[in-house]
């Protein structure tokens, strides 16, 4: 103790104090289990992150596929509907059917007109309901 | 190579390399970054949390974040300064949550220490220095750590702590005065350590 450069009652200069503190830097050591703990935690977090990303991508893909399929179906229905001619699409055909109805059922022309018109509306409604399943 | 022997520039370069490797090749490179920086980062965090367990938690959180999202660190001007700032912020957050400031300041029970056989006579000095350091306000202790152990300039310290170099310098001066006073009051046998070849080590935890 007597050989120490700084006796107990002397205050060291700032440079000496800095040197002392520098010397104590390696006194503290990191716990040995910290390294594996950090690496394991990083791997786990990374794995969870990748899993979340994978689930997100799968959900996006499924949504895209569903969208494409539904768009395709809708497009198909529309083209089917547009290809089907509407019943009695021309006035001439309409009046021909009215006359035929009058002759067949023997009712007056206005009532036949109503019946043919109602029938026409029903056919149009059915052909414009593309998603309904055929019975 | 002992990471304590690296100078600031070499250390900063190697940290940058490791972070880039982590960015390009993934978590497998975390071990190298840990070996290079862990002791220094824990040392800084202890100055703030006053407790090694909390300090290690802070370092763990930061390194895991860097490993899983290395982009911001890799793109920083100085990866090392960025890493130090991350650890500091995390340590402050943990210290605020746990509030162990007063409890831990008078004991070194949590500290895992190592002392070479040829330095056993200095152990008392080292303990006194660590005890005194943990009694300092955190904003002064962190400047001491960065100035003396990380060999940073006050401008670099200011960058890490987001303060002006002048503020860092005045905190450092205040800290040194308190440390001198504290060590003198306790009659610490002050003996500066010289660079000596590594001998056998005694580890306490």
Judged on CB neighbours under 10 Å (0-12, 13-18, 19+), A19 is middle
What is the per-residue burial (b if ≥16 Cβ within 10 Å, else e) of A25-38?
bbbbbbeeebbeeb
With 0.80 as the threshold, say if the pTM is over it: no
Q: B199: helix, coil or strand? A: coil
Write the ipTM. Answer: 0.78
pLDDT averages per 10-residue partition of chain B, 205 residues = 69 91 87 93 93 93 93 90 95 83 58 67 83 91 94 93 94 93 71 47 54
Mark yes or no for CB contact B67/A42 under 8 Å: yes
Q: Is B59 on the interface with A (CB under 8 A)?
A: yes
Is A43–B27 a contact, with Cβ atoms under 8 angstroms apart? yes
For A10-42, the pLDDT digits (tens) are: 566 788 889 989 988 888 889 999 999 999 999
The DSSP 8-state label assigned to residue A105 in this structure reads: H
Return the residue in A6, A16, A23 with the most chain B beta carbons within 10 A, the one to mutate for interface testing.
A23
Residue B37 phi, psi dihedral angles, 5° rounding: -120, -20
Is A20 close to B113, i.e. CB distance below 8 A? no
CA distance A30 to chain B (A): 6
Instruction: Inspect the interface and report whether the beta carbons of B113 and A38 lie closer than 8 Å.
Output: no
């Amino acid at each position: 103790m007597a050989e120490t450069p700084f006796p107990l009652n002397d205050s060291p200069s700032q440079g000496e104090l800095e040197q002392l503190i520098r010397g104590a830097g390696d006194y503290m050591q990191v716990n040995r289990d910290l390294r594996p703990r950090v690496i394991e935690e990083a791997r786990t977090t990374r794995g969870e992150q990748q899993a979340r990303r994978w689930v997100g991508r799968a959900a996006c893909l499924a949504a895209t596929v569903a969208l494409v399929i539904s768009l395709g179906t809708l497009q198909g229905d529309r083209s089917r509907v547009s290809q089907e001619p509407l019943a009695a699409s021309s006035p001439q055909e309409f009046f021909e059917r009215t006359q035929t109805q009058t002759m067949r059922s023997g009712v007056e022309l206005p009532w036949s007109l109503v019946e043919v018109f109602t029938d026409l509306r029903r056919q149009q409604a059915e052909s414009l309901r593309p998603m309904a399943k055929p019975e | 190579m002992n990471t304590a022997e690296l100078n600031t520039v070499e250390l900063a370069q190697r940290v940058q390399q490791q972070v880039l490797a982590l960015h390009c090749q993934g978590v497998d490179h975390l071990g190298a970054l840990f070996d290079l920086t862990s002791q220094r980062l824990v040392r800084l965090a202890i100055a703030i949390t006053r407790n090694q367990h909390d300090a290690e938690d802070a370092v763990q959180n930061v390194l895991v974040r860097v490993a899983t999202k290395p982009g911001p660190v890799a793109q920083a001007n100085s990866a090392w300064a960025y890493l130090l700032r991350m650890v500091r912020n995390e340590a402050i957050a943990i210290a605020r949550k746990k509030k162990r400031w007063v409890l831990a300041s008078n004991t070194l029970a949590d500290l895992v220490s190592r002392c070479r056989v040829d330095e056993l006579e200095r152990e008392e000095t080292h303990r006194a220095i660590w005890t005194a350091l943990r009694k300092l306000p955190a904003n002064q202790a962190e400047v001491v750590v960065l100035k003396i152990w990380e060999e940073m300039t006050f401008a670099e310290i200011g960058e890490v702590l987001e303060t002006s170099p002048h503020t860092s310098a005045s905190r450092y001066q205040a800290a040194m005065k308190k440390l001198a006073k504290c060590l003198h009051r306790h009659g610490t046998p002050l003996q500066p350590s010289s660079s000596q070849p590594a001998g056998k080590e005694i580890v306490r935890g």
